[in-house]
A and B are shown apart, each in its own frame.
Chain A
Amino acid sequence: MAEVGAAPARRLGLPDLPIWLLGTVLALLWGAPFLWMVSTSLKPADQVMTPVIEWIPREITFENYAKVFRYPVLTWALNSVIQAVVATGLCVLFGAMAGYALARLPFPGRRALFALFLAVLMIPSEIAVVPLLLAFIKAGLASTYAALILPQIGNVLAVYIFRQHYLTFPKELEEAALVDGAGRFKIFFTIALPLARAPLIATTVILFTLNWNNFLWPLLVTFDESMKTMPVGMAAFAPVVGTHTQLEGYAVAMAAVTILCIPSIALFLLTQRHFIQGIALGGVKG
């Protein structure tokens, strides 16, 4: 499949000009909340609520960012990184192996297993969050990295994307190695996996984003401030959840969420082609 939504630009005829203008303005409007977020985050406290709307700050200050770091943001960031990197790494590796086997290796129960995976993929994870929480509490594992990571490894999305990839992977590449007497694991790790660059990137960035943004489960399972992830810790800047905004105002809250969204937006912009391709293929979010 060709890249989604990117092709040589077409010339713009005069009759199309009004639609083009409308669409472009809408696109800019769609991005405007981010601009307003950054703009607010750079304003001094007394210039946030001005009588006239000021898109460009009169003077730029980083004091709001300094105030955000009075909260244990670095601890939350470290937790987020550990949780997202480990969970994503394991899910991609195990998912690739499972996807490869489901596409390539005939084994008893293969169809039933894939049907089970697909059935669970259709059930939102939120349904099972309460029993999962109770199990982790009873096992004494609440508020640990294990609690944050373990439930994220079995994300069927990875299996699904890799299976799709390996269904059309040319067999000849492996057959030579098979004739030479190489084992299945050796073939997978030296031939099949290194040649799966596109699904590897797509699955990694999509799962990393999902894990980085994951909200309900970390909110439930982290009781200590020191085990919170970034999205959960920073939710306390919301007026209805915590008291940070009453104390600090919207400028500091905007600085907090600017810090929070930089990694996911940067990752998306860097890998946009693969990211969108993977989303179009998987058709699944969160």
Chain B
Amino acid sequence: MRAEGSGWQAAGGARRDWTGWLFVAFFTLPFLLFNLAPLLFGVVLAFTEWGIIGDPVWVGTANFEQALADPWVANAFWNTFLYACTIVPGVVVFGLAFALFVHQRWPLSTLARTLFFTPNVVSATVIGLVWVWLLDTQFGLVNRYLAWLGIKPIPWLTSGDWSLIGVSIASIWWDLGLAFVLFLAALQDEPQELHEAAAIDGAGRIRRFVHVTLPHLRPTISMVVTLQIIASMRIFSQVYVMTNGAPHGSSQSVIHYIYQTAIVQYRLGYASAVSVLLFLAILAVTVLQRLLLRERAGG
């Protein structure tokens, strides 16, 4: 961060100016109370057993010990990992392909831009219900078109083998817009001279993509991957609407399990402990990403 406005201070004298605090106070107050404090309170809560009624009971690390031994926690973390493994590549590959297409500025590219982005602005309830209908085993559009190819009806949301994939398809449709726009903005910033020089040297479209465009996009790709991994680790709403974690928890994500223990079983201390574990997982992914990036930049 550059020290913008340091020249200003001179105009007002060398005294310390607290006006800035007055400006930030309006935002900082609700931020501290409702965004930062709950994070800290959650860590305390994780060491207690606290229901909706009654007082907290300090239980030490019992919640964490139980969570680490809980097969449903393991299941939810594994599923969340699988969600990331399907959604992240889907969003990155399709998002990049669509951005490259729209970037050509061929006729109708503005319409294509709108269509690729629109699912991103609607609520999870819309995404979920539209895809529950599209993926209906008997009458869903997807299975009926697959039948044209001779594929038997797939129980997308009702079988343990498919439910996670069904939810992932809807999630890719929903999440793609953000990656698409970030790639599009990065493509636009690409220096044209390099492209033209490569074209004059006789490099074909694919070689220009690999040697000019891809290196330019590298920071954007790693940013999109990081954002999308974190987005996939917090997956909840579409799971809730489409399968509610069923069948037998085969599509249950970590946040869905937290929701279930907190709201259905009213075990708020335990749910907080699982939240802390998820936070640590997200932190680990973020740190790992940073280290990998630094290594690559250094080497």
Contacts and interface: CB of A to CB of B under 8 A. Distances in A.
B83 interface: no
A34 interface: yes
B241 A241 contact: yes
A254 B133 contact: yes
A235 B20 contact: no
Contacts of B173: 30, 33
A265 B17 CA distance: 44
B178 A130 contact: no
Given A10-B106, A131-B45, 15 more contacts: A27-B112, A37-B126, A53-B141, A127-B279, A131-B268, A133-B268, A167-B4, A215-B237, A234-B129, A240-B244, A254-B133, A261-B123, A279-B178, A283-B178, A285-B175
Interface in B85-137: 98-99, 101-126, 128-134, 136
Interface string B18-34: 11110110111011111
Given A103-B4, A184-B19, A276-B181, A10 B104 contact: yes
A128 B33 CA distance: 12
A93 B152 CA distance: 55
Given A31-B115, A127-B278, A265 B105 contact: no
Contacts of A120: 31, 35-36, 39
Contact of A105 (B17, B109, B136, B282): B17
B106 A20 contact: yes
A124 B23 contact: no
B5 A104 contact: yes
Interface in B1-57: 1-6, 8-9, 11, 16-21, 23-24, 26-28, 30-36, 38-39, 41-42, 45, 50, 52
Contacts of A230: 123, 125
A241 B258 CA distance: 17
A170 interface: no
A135 B113 CA distance: 43
Nearest to A175: B11
Interface string A246-286: 00001001101100110011011100100110011001111
Q: Which of B31, B103, B107, B114 has the most CB of A within 10 A?
A: B31
B195 interface: no
B77 interface: no
Contacts of A20: 104, 106-107
Closest 10 CB pairs of A and B: A107-B20, A154-B31, A101-B23, A105-B20, A27-B112, A128-B38, A213-B123, A94-B27, A23-B101, A98-B27
Given A1-B185, A105-B23, A124 B230 contact: yes
A33 B103 contact: no
B160 to A, nearest CB: 14
Given A7-B105, A124-B282, A156-B31, A240 B246 contact: yes
13 contacts: A4-B181, A19-B101, A27-B116, A106-B6, A107-B18, A120-B31, A125-B35, A132-B38, A215-B123, A235-B241, A240-B242, A261-B122, A279-B181
Contact of A30 (B2, B30, B119, B181): B119
Contact of A5 (B103, B282, B286): B103
B105 A8 contact: yes
Contacts of B139: 48-49
Contact of B263 (A26, A220, A275): A220
Nearest to A213: B123
Nearest to B128: A238
B188 interface: yes
B259 A216 contact: yes
Interface in B226-260: 227, 230-231, 233-234, 236-237, 240-244, 246, 255, 258-259
Q: Which of B30, B52, B243, B271 has the most CB of A within 10 A?
A: B30
Contact of A215 (B27, B124, B242): B124
Given A5-B184, A20-B106, A94-B30, A216 B118 contact: no
A279 B186 CA distance: 13
Contacts of A62: none
B144 A113 contact: no
B125 A106 contact: no
A122 interface: yes
B237 A131 contact: no
A232 B124 CA distance: 9
A176 interface: no
B275 interface: yes
A235 B30 contact: no
Nearest to A251: B133
A47 to B, nearest CB: 12
A253 B129 CA distance: 7
A239 interface: yes
Contact of A107 (B21, B231, B272, B276): B21
Contact of A220 (B177, B178, B262): B262
